[in-house]
Amino acid sequence: MIILKDILYKVAIEVVKGSTEMAVNKIEFDSRKIEENDVFVAIRGTVSNGHDFIEKAINLGATVIVCDTLPDIIVTGITYVQVKDTNSALAFMASNYYDNPSSKIRLVGITGTNGKTTIASLLYQLFKKAGYKVGLLSTVKIMVDETEHKATHTTPDSLTINHYLNEMVAIGCEFCFMEVSSHGVHQKRTEGLQFEGGVFTNLSHDHLDYHPTFAEYRDVKKSFFDHLPKTAFALTNVDDKNGSVMLQNTNAKKLTYALKSYADYRAQILENQLSGLLLKINENEVWVRLIGTFNAYNLLAIYGTAVQLGLENLEVLRLLSELESVSGRFQFIVSNEKITAIVDYAHTPDALENVLKTINDIRTKNEQLITVVGCGGDRDKTKRPIMANIATQMSDKVIITSDNPRTENPATIIAEMEAGVEPQNFKKSLSIEDRKQAIKTACQLANTNDIILIAGKGHETYQEIHGVRYDFDDMKIVKEFLEQMNK
């Protein structure tokens, strides 16, 4: 039995009406999930306002209401807790409800525009290989050691985070690696968690639909580091111009990694091929099966984190050499006709440029590079022309197509992308709305030794059109077409 008073610990309370000594069942922030004796936390969202559902929650059995503004009608027998910020209250309450699991596991958060999933998933893999029980909260999946759960967000809501952290602790996980998105920080999903470390990857154009300016987006990321305690480490990429900004006001132990600048963890790329990278990390050479300069950064972040968490340097290098690429992150197949098809989650201008640069650095240029790319609907529109421009500048042929149009008209998204193609590149690009047809066309156009890049959806196994999700898997589809055409 849980007493309300106990889950309100550390919550900045302004007014309480009613008793806090009562027993409660569970916490919910969605009125539709309320059951007898639940606590309903009213959240102000982007679509609706949780405060409008207080009456509904009470009718369904809620006995405690946490809100930032008291409703006009106060119902007797109900306890009202008025707080300044309900998102923050929810985070502390979630943590208390699950008995503060983040204090019983060594938790590391990874933030930045690109690389979070790669770093978190590879750290999970590395610590598993080192023999530990490990947890993972990522865009692709949630792992409670070996048990997989579906992920709905990059950083889930605070109740979900604490629920899974609690499961991890219960089965003896020693470490947990989690992605920390800017939405997550802004909506205080990670507040009240005890992190042992924070990692910053890089900052570039994304989510400017949600954050009004780039400066705000940067400061939201920075606030994650501002809140780290003295006992934690903060590891940042100082080759990124915002890398040192992240650590300006942190109390944590400041650590750096870089390929080009002076840093605590440094690497040099000795070889960069389709079969992998040969790196020199702090004076030791290591072959890894991951590809491209951006992965050299990711691997350095992983190395630094693993060493900070107490693994021995040479052991970490050995484990790095065993890592395998993360699903949908530069995943590739080579067909019978020696056509290489690469599936990558690059859905931001920066990520797309990086992937194309990586391919262009490695290829011989005697072959064609054919890129299939689209942009998601109901997301940052400003990146559409930029991504089409990058794709056409850096490939021989581009097929502009749909990503997840969600509730938008796919043709409109494609037109907005096309607007970014420069006249000299018109001849290189065609638009095919149906993503399956677009992939098929790329396969038809490809000759021996050509490279097909399918960008934007990576590991996703669905396509969301007009709000409906259909089965869709870039890798499966390209494989099928190449086999069908006997290529």
Ligand X SMILES: Nc1ncnc2c1ncn2[C@@H]1O[C@H](COP(=O)(O)OP(=O)(O)OP(=O)(O)O)[C@@H](O)[C@H]1O
- How many residues are given for the chain? 487
Q: Which two tokens stand for residue 72?
A: 């006009």
Q: Which does 456 bind (CB under 5 to 8 A by kind): Mg ion, ligand API, ligand UAG, none?
A: ligand API
Cα–Cα distance between 97 and 81 in angstroms, integer?
Answer: 16
Query: Which positions from 346 through 365 interact with ligand API, judged by CB under 6 A?
Result: 347
- Single residue of 238, 288, 346, 400 touching ligand X by CB under 6 A: 346
Quick note: the x/- pattern for Mg ion over 177-196, rule CB under 5 A, is --x-----------------
Report if residue 463 touches ligand API, rule: CB under 6 A. Answer: no
The piece of 30-38, 228-236, 306-314, 445-453 that touches ligand UAG (CB under 6 A) is 30-38
By C-beta, is 139 or 256 nearer to ligand X? 139
By C-beta, is 240 or 460 nearer to ligand API? 460
From the number of C-beta atoms within 10 Å of its C-beta (0-12, 13-18, 19+), residue 371 rates as: buried
By C-beta, is 46 or 76 nearer to ligand UAG? 46
Report if residue 158 touches ligand UAG, rule: CB under 6 A. Answer: no
Does the annotation list 154 as a binding residue? Answer: yes
Report if residue 31 touches ligand UAG, rule: CB under 6 A. Answer: yes
Q: How far is CA 427 from CA 78, 132, 369, 397, 398, in A?
A: 67, 54, 15, 8, 9
Report if residue 218 touches ligand UAG, rule: CB under 6 A. Answer: no
CB of 140 to ligand X, least distance (A): 8
Report if residue 85 touches ligand UAG, rule: CB under 6 A. Answer: no
Quick note: the x/- pattern for ligand API over 208-227, rule CB under 6 A, is --------------------
Does the annotation list 111 as a binding residue? Answer: no
Dihedral of the CA atoms 465, 469, 470, 472 (nearest 10)? Answer: 90
Does the annotation list 403 as a binding residue? Answer: yes
Amino acid code (one letter) for 148:
E
Query: Which positions from 380 through 439 interact with ligand API, judged by CB under 6 A?
Result: 403-404
Q: Which does 114 bind (CB under 5 to 8 A by kind): Mg ion, ligand UAG, ligand X, none?
A: ligand X
Report if residue 410 touches ligand UAG, rule: CB under 6 A. Answer: no
Does the annotation list 379 as a binding residue? Answer: yes
CB of 384 to ligand UAG, least distance (A): 16
Tokens 């098929």 -> residue: 440
Report if residue 43 touches ligand UAG, rule: CB under 6 A. Answer: yes
Termini Cα distance of the chain = 63
CB of 135 to ligand UAG, least distance (A): 17
Report if residue 117 touches Mg ion, rule: CB under 5 A. Answer: yes
Total residues at the site for ligand API (CB under 6 A)?
A: 9
Does the annotation list 184 as a binding residue? Answer: no
- Single residue of 31, 87, 88, 154 touching ligand API by CB under 6 A: 154
The piece of 100-108, 152-160, 215-223, 272-280 that touches ligand UAG (CB under 6 A) is 152-160
Quick note: the x/- pattern for ligand UAG over 181-200, rule CB under 6 A, is x-xx----------------
Does the annotation list 18 as a binding residue? Answer: no
Cα–Cα distance between 403 and 381 in angstroms, integer?
Answer: 13
Does the annotation list 44 as a binding residue? Answer: no
CB of 100 to ligand X, least distance (A): 26
Q: Which two tokens stand for residue 485?
A: 């055409």
- Single residue of 163, 188, 329, 379 touching ligand API by CB under 6 A: 379
Burial letters 270-302, b for 16+ CB under 10 A, else e: eebebebbebebbeeebebebbbebbbbbbbbb
- Footprint of Mg ion on this chain (CB under 5 A)? 116-117, 139, 154, 179
- Footprint of ligand UAG on this chain (CB under 6 A)? 29-32, 43, 45-48, 50, 53, 153-155, 157, 181, 183-184
Residues of each annotated binding site for ATP: 112-118
Residues of each annotated binding site: 31, 112-118, 154-155, 181, 187, 189, 379, 403-406, 456, 460
